[in-house]
């Protein structure tokens, strides 16, 4: 698949999976904004330059949640 098509496909899948507000948090919504800014390629997201630590905080928070959720799912699957 062409990289541009793959990116559009990923973005579409994210939008389908998003369950606002129940399935999101401020950090995941911020990460979504950053991904959208990066995927367009034609506009800059000002927080990357003005507040990179804030961007990093959101990324780390989402990674922590993701990895904890995966670990919990793995535990649940093993206990079945």
In this prediction, residue 69 carries a pLDDT of 95
In the block, which residue shows the tokens 């793959």? 6
- Residue 71: C-alpha distances to residues 17, 23, 26, 28, 68 (Å): 20, 18, 22, 19, 5
The predicted-structure confidence for 2-25, as pLDDT tens digits, reads as follows: 888 899 999 999 999 998 888 899
Tell me the pTM.
0.83
d(CA 27, CA 60): 9
């Amino acid at each position: 698949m062409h990289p541009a098509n793959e990116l559009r496909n990923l973005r579409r899948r994210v939008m389908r999976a998003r369950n606002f507000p129940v399935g999101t948090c401020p950090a995941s919504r911020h990460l979504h904004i950053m991904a959208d800014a990066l995927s367009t390629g034609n506009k800059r997201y000002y927080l990357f330059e003005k507040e990179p630590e804030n961007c990093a905080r959101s990324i780390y928070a989402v990674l922590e949640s993701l990895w904890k959720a995966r670990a919990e799912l793995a535990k649940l699957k093993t206990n079945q």
